[in-house]
Structure 1
């Protein structure tokens, strides 16, 4: 099947559009996957944070219970009350965050009654302290029922935390894979598309130029024939009437040749107009592609800002953890001092010694929890730094893509302008061909009336000669436009 010039140019623009669509689709999917994986990582961190809040709130509640049992004053119940409320809130958050994870939901189902039992044990001892005194509450504490429940709670929370950490590792791998795929698409896809389009453009230009050259050669040949024929008619205008019929036949042949030239010129003009329209459509497609690349660049900048804010919040959490660690150290020192004073007091200081030992135990637990949180926070900051670096690299790659797409759009714009100029020239050729047809009609009419108006015949022949010369010159100009002269 032989393609027209317009079809070939349309195929070129279709190829360019298809490659841009493929590159844009791949980049969009990879970027969307990157964003989704980042959101899932943040989701896992929220689950871990709420698990820590559950443990912390239970410890606060236990601290308030023990303080009230020892002292018996209402202000010591404030940590118990705030811890109870915080536990319920953290559990509800965990329910919502793990709604799509059946394993975690089952663990929460097992965790909820344990927490309820722990809170019930705390409330029981507090009520006993209020109604029956210190010894009754202390007997319940010494049963170690609350400690066993607390150990079970810690095991369940540790299991949930381990599963979230595994999910974090998996999502980190997804983020890395999406980032590498996006970079590979931009680094290798755009140069490959540029090379393919450059090769196709070269072949397309070569094919179109060859077809135009053939049409111009035919047009120039026809114009030369017309010029030669009209010159002969002008020189033989004074011959006898016996040559009139032969001259008339020659003019008729010239007229048919001019009609053929006019038809070809009109075909060239129509093809050039279609080409110009297709080039405008391609230019609009490239502008849309540039706008899409700019939108991707804006999304990459938004991701970078979110990661920077996450890093700042991690640093603030680190400062808070340092303060908590200092408080634990101070509590440990106070507990040691209190134990010493209790030993000095003898039998009267035994109860105070128990309190000192509990305070020391709580201080040690707080110090251990702070160390664990600090280690987790260090991992978060490292991951955040890696994400910032990857985002900056992605941002630079997107900027390069925007630049190259803009340069491609500028090249297509220049090509569209050249095609538009060629279309105008083809239109002028078609108009000149039409004028030639009018001149040849005048020649035919003059030859029919040559016996009555010899002077009119000579004048019409001269007009035909001028029109043929103009057609020949236009053919030469069109040949010059495609970069090659016609003999």
Structure 2
């Protein structure tokens, strides 16, 4: 059935299938990038949960440190971390509930965390109120009873459970991100190779079909020239047969004229199509290069997303290390504060030891403050890395859109492409020139026939000229046939 298709229908079919491949590749790439963006958002969500849990524990430690400082010195300035924790804790707990709304298990743990936080704040407030009322000994007894330490230990353990579950979820989401990126790369590369192979096959098939049709046209020209040569030979055989030969020659020349005009018109149209095809081929080559650049952009953006995600993981590890230092320093501060209190209560006038212990407490407090600043700096870096990741993902989506548009241009340009356009154009031009020469020769034969009809004396000269013209036309037809066959091979 395909053998009966016209050249235009074959081109339309080939490039329609190519366009279908390109659209499928674009849809698959768009879907993969959409999934990648959604997964990156989930990773950011998990990082926020980890950040808020760490901030909650840090605030409680700051509140406890402020309480111990106030109990030891009676200076209200030490209560600033305590007041800040009391004011900021509701917002942190509320945000944790919103972030974990899709996880019933985490919601239950956050409820337990809230209860522990309230108990710890109540314990801290009791000791502060006793110190304000001048009952420092009673406040110290509450501290030494270990009630506050029990709450803090439970709070740390529960926070670690929440963080551990979120880190496990983070690892799963990072694995999903890697898998989605790999699928996107495979789909784009495999689809592009398949589309290119189909376009090449379609081009070869169309070129062979066009060559076969040109060969048939040349065969018609050769047949017509052979008939003209036979007629001219009969005319040259003698004047006795001139009357009957004239009728045969006239008929043959008429057929040759019609055939020549048809071939000339067909050759002209084919030449125009070949020139348009050459221009489209050059345009298509440039469009393909731009499409490849767009695909390279997608790969770079995907690599950038992965790099930022790794950077985010490293920053999280650094935060964990700094938090360990803060925990260690807080515990040492507590021990030194208790020792200083015991020494002060048993020394009486010998307050020199208390002064030494107080100096150590001040130094440790300075280290805690410096570590807190480091924590905040690291948290800011994490946020910056998250923002950079989001921006890189958005750039990747734009690169995908640009790639899709470039391949749309490729589909439009390749609707007019055929391989070996330069060779085909030259062959068609030679055919057009030959048919023009054939038409000229036919006009000369017709003139010769008219002269034979008008004057018998010029019959022999006209016959000789007609024979020469027919021989040239036959030779030209043979040259055209050899040209077409050589191109086919």
Shorter-normalised TM-score: what interval?
A: 0.5 to 0.7
The aligned counterpart of 2:218 is 216
Distance 1:468-1:36 versus aligned 2 partners, 3 A rule: farther
Distance 1:68-1:83 versus aligned 2 partners, 3 A rule: same
Query: How many residues are aligned here?
Result: 445
The aligned counterpart of 2:483 is 480
Paired residue for 2:452, among 450, 453, 457?
A: 450
The answer to whether the Cα contact below 8 Å between 1:62 and 1:122 also exists between their aligned partners in 2 is yes
Matched, 1:59 2:61: yes
Distance 1:155-1:241 versus aligned 2 partners, 3 A rule: same
* Greater Cα shift, 103-112 or 428-437: 103-112
1:311-350 equivalent positions in 2, closer than 5 A: 313-314=315-316, 317=319, 320=322, 324=326, 327=329, 331=333, 334=336, 341=343, 345=347
Distance 2:468 2:202 in 1: 43
The aligned counterpart of 1:77 is 79
Cα shift at 1:77: 1.6
The aligned counterpart of 1:252 is 254
Can you list the C-alpha shifts for 1:341-360, whole angstroms capped at 9, x where unaligned? 579759x99xx9xx99xx9x
1:3-402 equivalent positions in 2, closer than 5 A: 3-85=5-87, 87-88=89-90, 90-91=92-93, 93-94=95-96, 97-98=99-100, 104=106, 108=110, 111-112=113-114, 115-116=117-118, 118-119=120-121, 121-135=123-137, 137=139, 153-154=155-156, 157-158=159-160, 160-182=162-184, 184-185=186-187, 198-230=200-232, 233=235, 240-241=242-243, 243-262=245-264, 264-265=266-267, 268-269=270-271, 272=274, 275-276=277-278, 279=281, 282-283=284-285, 286-307=288-309, 309-310=311-312, 313-314=315-316, 317=319, 320=322, 324=326, 327=329, 331=333, 334=336, 341=343, 345=347
Distance 1:108-1:227 versus aligned 2 partners, 3 A rule: farther
Cα shift at 1:85: 5.0
Distance 1:228-1:264 versus aligned 2 partners, 3 A rule: farther
Distance 2:311 2:37 in 1: 16
The answer to whether the Cα contact below 8 Å between 1:17 and 1:285 also exists between their aligned partners in 2 is no
Cα shift at 1:337: 6.6
Query: Normalised by the size of structure 2, how large is the TM-score?
Result: 0.67
Secondary structure in 1 matching 2:70: helix
Cα shift at 1:130: 1.8
Distance 1:474-1:321 versus aligned 2 partners, 3 A rule: farther
Can you list the C-alpha shifts for 1:300-321, whole angstroms capped at 9, x where unaligned? 3532552464366357546645
Distance 2:109 2:471 in 1: 96
Can you list the C-alpha shifts for 1:121-163, whole angstroms capped at 9, x where unaligned? 5345423422353245457668877667656655654554344
Distance 1:307-1:153 versus aligned 2 partners, 3 A rule: closer
The answer to whether the Cα contact below 8 Å between 1:276 and 1:419 also exists between their aligned partners in 2 is yes
Distance 1:294 1:202 in 2: 29
Distance 1:247-1:198 versus aligned 2 partners, 3 A rule: closer
Secondary structure in 1 matching 2:216: helix
Distance 1:256-1:338 versus aligned 2 partners, 3 A rule: same
Cα shift at 1:68: 1.2
Can you list the C-alpha shifts for 1:152-211, whole angstroms capped at 9, x where unaligned? 655654554344234224313312422442454467555555555555555454444444
The answer to whether the Cα contact below 8 Å between 1:265 and 1:426 also exists between their aligned partners in 2 is yes
Can you list the C-alpha shifts for 1:75-112, whole angstroms capped at 9, x where unaligned? 32233234345535544553564466566566556655
The aligned counterpart of 1:390 is none
Q: Which runs of no fewer than 5 residues in structure 2 stay unpaired? A: 383-388, 390-399
Can you list the C-alpha shifts for 1:252-279, whole angstroms capped at 9, x where unaligned? 3333443454455356446646755764
The answer to whether the Cα contact below 8 Å between 2:228 and 2:252 also exists between their aligned partners in 1 is no
Q: Which runs of no fewer than 5 residues in structure 1 stay unpaired? A: 381-386, 388-397
Can you list the C-alpha shifts for 1:378-419, whole angstroms capped at 9, x where unaligned? xx9xxxxxx9xxxxxxxxxx9xx9xxx9xx99xx99x76731
Distance 1:60 1:485 in 2: 87
Distance 1:108 1:315 in 2: 23
The aligned counterpart of 2:472 is 469
Distance 1:340 1:256 in 2: 125
Cα shift at 1:64: 1.0
Can you list the C-alpha shifts for 1:196-228, whole angstroms capped at 9, x where unaligned? 555555545444444443333333433444455
